[in-house]
Amino acid sequence: MKQKLTFVWHVLIFNIIKPLPNSSDYFNHYFQLPTQNLSDHDSHYKRIVKFGREQSGWVGVLLANIALMFFCLPICFLSDIVIHSVNLLSIKIAINGILFLIMLGKFDMLHFHDGRSYLKLFYLFGCVLSSSYWTLTCLFLAAFENVVL
């Protein structure tokens, strides 16, 4: 149980420090996978989920996804409420821009190693242009990261 709580704690810390310069050192220290399970094209999100599965099986996958979405889902939900209840276009544009940047960073969309990054980016642009709900967008992108484990 202590190992699982420690894993969740490290994921939560990584969520907070990911935009900082030294976050890759933290990531490499706490989420090291064996090379046979590692792909150069995997995002940080996918690597953490794979690490959770390696450590604790499907419970680790569930814990990894909950910890990775711990901050993102409430922000998306509150943003959806604000965007769809406010009439000022400037507020809607600002919130959509901020959430767009959060999603870019959260799901490592700017690392163009394979077609999956382009597909995620195309989906995100489609969601912004169609004024989609951010909560559903976040859940879909999380599910997309879990497709091939």
* pLDDT score of 149 more than 70: no
For the chain, what are the domain ranges? 2-69, 72-145
pTM above 0.75, yes or no: yes
* pLDDT score of 140 more than 80: yes
- Tens of pLDDT along 95-121? 999 999 999 988 888 877 777 888 889
* pLDDT score of 40 more than 70: no
Q: What is the 3-state secondary structure (H, E, C) of 80-119?
A: HHHHCCCCCHHHHHHHHHHHHHHHHHHCCCCCCCCHHHHH
Task: Count other C-beta atoms under 10 Å from residue 53's C-beta.
Answer: 20
pLDDT, averaged across the chain:
88
Q: Quote the pLDDT of residue 143.
A: 92
